[in-house]
Structure 1
């Protein structure tokens, strides 16, 4: 043990995790806005526990003064997606980014581990601005489907219980479960277009509803009470009828009325 102050040592890694989580969550929002569909379903992140860092350093024979370069996943980001195809789309987006440098990639989706583990790992150099200046840290980005993540979470719990030495029958059942999870991923991928189209329709309808209601409220702000009330009644009727086309036309009418109200207010 080198007597280092671990709380201070981990500060740049904690900052890297928070920044990367924010950036990939923002990417999800931007993709939904621009393309109507995001490859990113959700994002999590964590800092490796000190005990885990020490155990891994011992297992890999990494000297204490080489931990920063020898342990790649002290900062870890996990990106979950719906379909296997999305994993590779996200990986391509990561490669194109200018705010991090990809060092190498490990494709455990195409090259499944013996245990059945599937995931896509990208090791990056990520610069963070600290109180002491710029510092570049290693971070691991894992990309996997929801089914892969479910399986990996169970495997991790069992490895912890059996201290990495799983009984043979448990290994076999886990491997069968991994294959079942991958079959599910393959089946879902076969209907990807239908699923994404349905999600797009839901997103479009949600946006139209938000536009209608927000603009009706803004009409009240401009004292167009009667007009706003009439629009609200029409909205309620169309909503009950599930008339999506009618709602879109109504949204345009409300938008036009709001523009007129703003112009009238400016001319006073």
Structure 2
């Protein structure tokens, strides 16, 4: 019978999760730096608990020596999107990558599970560079909307409580909630452009405010306290109700003032 030294066995899976989170989050940062809308809202990841790995192995009669080859979600990544049509965009980004190899996909957004579960799963082969050489592992990427993720998290908790035998009346309520969550996604998609415009405006405003604050701190650092306090009062008034052009004017004024004292 195979014996697994779990601390050693799980090292590449932990490394894969950390690397994948960094790589996928960098996609979001890349879009934001170009002032473009990112289909990725945020990314989380985890390595399956040993008890859950053994439970799954027992359920599907997987020998211990085959766990690394047959359990695909020891490393798990969740990619959250704001809108349903963002899911396909993220999947396409994954398909184009050269640092991971797609084994297969499971589209539960189009082919909704009977329970109401929706998500797009991508099983990948990922190459981890370890101290003793390269290790190939399997990982599962789940791409879903925020509403889908909220529902799936609740379902997971109930499955854990009832050991995957959820009472019928609760199943019916869950299915109804899943349909309501998808209806929310559909309604949000109808005003997607309005939401994107509002978010972009917020990000631009936040960036300008940050630049003005940095200039105020710079003035303080060179001893121009009165000027710094004056600009801070103006900024406080503009933060809540100021227009972008007014904040830009304040930014330009603070920059000119700094240049004047250089």
TM-score, with structure 2 as normaliser: 0.91
Compared with structure 1, are the counterparts of its residues 233 and 43 closer, same or farther at alpha carbon in structure 2 (3 Å cutoff)?
same
For 2:241 and 2:13, the matched residues in 1 are separated by: 52
For 2:89 and 2:260, the matched residues in 1 are separated by: 43
Q: How does 1:104-143 map to 2 (within 5 A)?
A: 104-143=104-143
RMSD (Å), alpha carbons: 2.0
For 1:132 and 1:47, the matched residues in 2 are separated by: 21
Compared with structure 1, are the counterparts of its residues 241 and 63 closer, same or farther at alpha carbon in structure 2 (3 Å cutoff)?
closer
Compared with structure 1, are the counterparts of its residues 240 and 177 closer, same or farther at alpha carbon in structure 2 (3 Å cutoff)?
closer
For 1:240 and 1:138, the matched residues in 2 are separated by: 48
Matched, 1:207 2:207: yes
Moved more, 239-248 or 8-17: 239-248
Matched, 1:58 2:58: yes
Moved more, 114-123 or 211-220: 211-220
Contiguous gaps of at least 5 residues in structure 1: none
For 1:241 and 1:202, the matched residues in 2 are separated by: 12
TM-score, with structure 1 as normaliser: 0.89
2:86 corresponds to = 86
For 1:4 and 1:227, the matched residues in 2 are separated by: 66
Compared with structure 1, are the counterparts of its residues 14 and 249 closer, same or farther at alpha carbon in structure 2 (3 Å cutoff)?
same
For 1:214 and 1:149, the matched residues in 2 are separated by: 37
Compared with structure 1, are the counterparts of its residues 239 and 150 closer, same or farther at alpha carbon in structure 2 (3 Å cutoff)?
closer
Structure 2 counterpart SS, 1:35: coil
Task: For residue 122 of structure 1, report the CA deviation from its aligned partner.
Answer: 0.8
Task: For residue 124 of structure 1, report the CA deviation from its aligned partner.
Answer: 1.1
Preserved contact between residue 106 and residue 121 of structure 1 (Cα < 8 Å): yes
Moved more, 81-90 or 94-103: 94-103
Moved beyond 6 Å, runs of 4+: none
For 1:233 and 1:169, the matched residues in 2 are separated by: 58
1:2 corresponds to = 2
Preserved contact between residue 4 and residue 64 of structure 2 (Cα < 8 Å): no
Task: For residue 148 of structure 1, report the CA deviation from its aligned partner.
Answer: 0.7
Preserved contact between residue 36 and residue 203 of structure 1 (Cα < 8 Å): no
